[in-house]
C-alpha cells in the first residue's frame, strides 16, 4: 500500500492584513534609509515585543503616552488592551509616520512634538498618565537627551507610574549615573527572540514607589 506524501499547508494572511504589514515594512525601511540613527531598525517591532510593552497597562487606569509611534505596532497593541482611543496620545516627529498613524488610528491624538517637550502639546497635564510606552532609539542618543526625555516623561507620569522601554541590548539603555541623577530605578520586564533583532524590555520607575 502506497502512501501519498502530505502536502504542507501555507497559512496565508488576509489580503488586508498582508497589505498593512507590507506597507509598515516599506515605510519603516524608507525611514531607516533617510535617518538610520533616528529609526534604529530596518523592520518594525514584532507583535510579540508589543505584547511585552503593553502588559501592565490598565484599560481603566487613565491616560497613556507613547513616544515614537512609528508604523503603529505598539499603538495597536495599546488599544487592544481595551484602553479608549481618547486616552492615548502618540508622539511621532517623522512626518510620514505621523500621517500613517493618523490614517490608521483616526481617533488617537498624534503629536508631532519632540519627546523632551511633549508637555506643551499633550492633552493631559503633569501627573495625568499611568504609563509611558517608549519606542525611541535611546541607544543612539546621548546622555543629555536621555536626561531631557526621562525628565519630561516622569513629569507627565502619576505617582507609581512607569516608563516602558525596549532595547536591542541586554542591558538598560540608560546609564546608572543618569538614573541616580533623576532618582529612578530600572528592572528588566521581559525579553523576546521573536523580534528582529531580539529585544529586551525594561521598566523605569521613581525610586521608593
Give the CATH number of the domain where residue 46 resides.
3.40.50.150
Residue 6 forms part of a structural domain:
no
Residue 29 forms part of a structural domain:
yes
Residue 5 forms part of a structural domain:
no
Averaged pLDDT for residues 180-187: 98
Burial (Cβ within 10 Å: 0-12, 13-18, ≥19) of residue 165? buried
Task: State the pTM of this model.
Answer: 0.82
Distance in angstroms (rounded) separating the CA atoms of residues 125 and 155: 9
Residue 9 has pLDDT above 90, yes or no: no
DSSP state of 8: P
Domain count for the chain, please give it.
1
Q: Are 64 and 133 in contact (CB under 8 A)?
A: yes
Residue 10 forms part of a structural domain:
no
pLDDT at 19: 59
Residue 56 forms part of a structural domain:
yes
- The residue ranking higher by pLDDT, 2 or 142, is 142
Residue 72 forms part of a structural domain:
yes
Averaged pLDDT for residues 52-68: 98
Q: What end-to-end distance do the CA atoms of the chain give, in Å?
A: 70
Q: Which domain holds residue 182?
A: 15-206
Question: Using 50, 70 and 90 to split pLDDT, how confident is the model at 119?
Answer: very high
Amino acid at each position: 500500500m502506497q502512501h501519498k506524501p502530505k502536502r504542507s499547508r501555507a497559512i496565508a494572511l488576509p489580503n488586508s492584513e498582508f497589505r498593512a504589514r507590507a506597507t509598515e515594512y516599506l515605510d519603516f525601511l524608507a525611514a531607516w534609509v533617510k535617518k538610520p540613527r533616528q529609526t534604529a531598525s530596518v523592520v518594525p517591532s514584532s507583535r510579540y515585543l508589543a505584547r511585552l510593552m503593553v502588559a501592565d497597562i490598565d484599560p481603566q487606569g487613565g491616560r497613556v503616552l507613547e513616544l515614537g509611534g512609528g508604523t503603529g505596532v505598539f499603538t495597536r497593541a495599546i488599544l487592544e488592551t481595551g484602553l479608549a482611543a481618547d486616552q492615548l496620545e502618540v508622539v511621532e516627529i517623522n512626518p510620514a509616520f505621523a500621517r500613517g498613524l493618523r490614517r490608521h488610528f483616526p481617533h488617537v491624538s498624534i503629536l508631532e512634538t519632540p519627546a523632551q517637550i511633549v508637555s506643551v502639546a499633550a492633552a493631559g497635564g503633569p501627573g495625568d498618565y499611568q504609563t509611558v510606552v517608549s519606542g525611541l532609539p535611546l541607544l543612539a542618543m546621548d546622555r543629555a537627551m536621555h536626561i531631557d526625555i526621562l525628565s519630561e516623561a516622569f513629569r507627565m507620569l502619576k505617582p507609581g507610574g512607569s516608563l516602558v522601554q525596549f532595547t536591542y541590548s541586554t542591558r538598560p539603555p540608560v546609564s546608572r549615573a543618569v538614573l541616580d541623577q533623576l532618582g529612578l530605578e530600572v528592572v528588566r520586564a521581559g525579553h523576546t527572540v521573536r523580534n528582529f533583532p531580539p529585544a529586551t524590555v525594561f521598566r523605569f520607575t521613581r525610586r521608593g514607589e
